[in-house]
Chains A and B, each alone.
Chain A
Amino acid sequence: EVKLVESGGGVVRPGGSLRLSCTASGFIFDDYDMNWVRQVPGKGLEWVSRITWTGSTRYSDSVRGRFTVSRDEAEKAVYLQMDTLGAEDSAVYFCARDNLDTNLKIYYGLDVWGLGTTVIVAS
């Protein structure tokens, strides 16, 4: 079964740090780009970050300089290190597989999602 499981969410004080993890199973992790997407309860989806299968990273303007995405092929995991957290970072954080075939020029979408992990930034 193709699966993503996020962990690491919790309550943290403003200015604090948190590290989220996403563990993959059921597919060849090395072959795929991975994304983090967040959602404030009751609001829409916000793309946060991407790490490609080659290790290249991209961030949204709202988190660049504060968040760092990384991956560990041996662990089949992707991580999101979140620093200098503010109340605006409180959200459910989803990990999603990003399926792009650059040779065929076909974008298969964010085709696998985890259930999410909740981050609350509060004093």
Chain B
Amino acid sequence: VLTQSPVTLSLSAGATASMSCRASQTVWQSYLAWYQQKPGQAPRLLIFDTHNRATGIPARFSATGSGTHFILTIRDLEPGDSAFYYCQQRGDRSTFGPGTRLEIK
């Protein structure tokens, strides 16, 4: 089971967002990814293998973690960063976290 916090994050443009993903047990091989989803769209891969940015993802997005605790950080927030963010682990069965909603004020 993956849990994400906070549920909602409301920040101003230019600020830094930090959100957490915790697993109930060690994520196998740290096979953890992060996704961004905007309303009406399919999810978009942001981070793979815990800390690697996917193709085309700006350096403002970074991630770290190991074991059961993982963090996604977004610097220099822009209005277009408003979205839901999900973590996902790739074990024998995959699971998603419940998501964090990021609002840019």
Number of inter-chain CB pairs below 8 Å: 71
Inter-subunit contact B31/A107 (CB<8 Å) = yes
Q: A79-121: contact bitstring with B at CB < 8 Å (1 yes, 0 no)? A: 0000000000000001010111000011111110111100000
**Of residues B33, B94, B95, B99, which shows the largest number of chain A Cβ atoms within 10 Å of its Cβ?**
B94
Q: Does A60 contact B (CB under 8 A)?
A: yes
Could you say which residues of chain B place their CB within 8 Å of the CB of A60? 93
Q: Give bound CA distance, A59 to B93, whole Å.
A: 7
Q: Give bound CA distance, A18 to B78, whole Å.
A: 41
Known contacts A58-B93, A107-B29, A111-B45, A44 near B54 by CB under 8 Å: no
Closest to B28 in A: A107
Inter-subunit contact B29/A45 (CB<8 Å) = no
Inter-subunit contact B95/A47 (CB<8 Å) = yes
Query: Which residues B49-103 have CB closer than 8 A to chain A?
Result: 49, 54, 84, 86, 88, 90, 92-99
Could you say which residues of chain B place their CB within 8 Å of the CB of A35? 94
Q: Give bound CA distance, A116 to B97, whole Å.
A: 20
Q: Does A46 contact B (CB under 8 A)?
A: yes
Measured as residues with beta carbon below 8 angstroms from the partner, the interface class of chain B is 20 to 34
Inter-subunit contact B42/A100 (CB<8 Å) = no
Could you say which residues of chain B place their CB within 8 Å of the CB of A71? none
Inter-subunit contact A107/B90 (CB<8 Å) = yes
Inter-subunit contact A94/B42 (CB<8 Å) = yes
Decide if the interface of chain B is mainly helix, strand, loop or mixed: strand
Q: Give bound CA distance, A64 to B37, whole Å.
A: 27
Chain B residues at the A interface, C-beta cutoff of 8 Å: 29, 31-33, 35, 37, 42-45, 47-49, 54, 84, 86, 88, 90, 92-99
Q: Give bound CA distance, A50 to B94, whole Å.
A: 8
Q: Give bound CA distance, A7 to B63, whole Å.
A: 34
**Of residues A45, A50, A59, A116, which shows the largest number of chain B Cβ atoms within 10 Å of its Cβ?**
A45
A-B CB contact pairs (8 Å), 9 listed: A44-B98, A45-B37, A45-B43, A47-B96, A60-B93, A94-B43, A108-B48, A109-B90, A111-B45
Q: Give bound CA distance, A52 to B45, whole Å.
A: 20
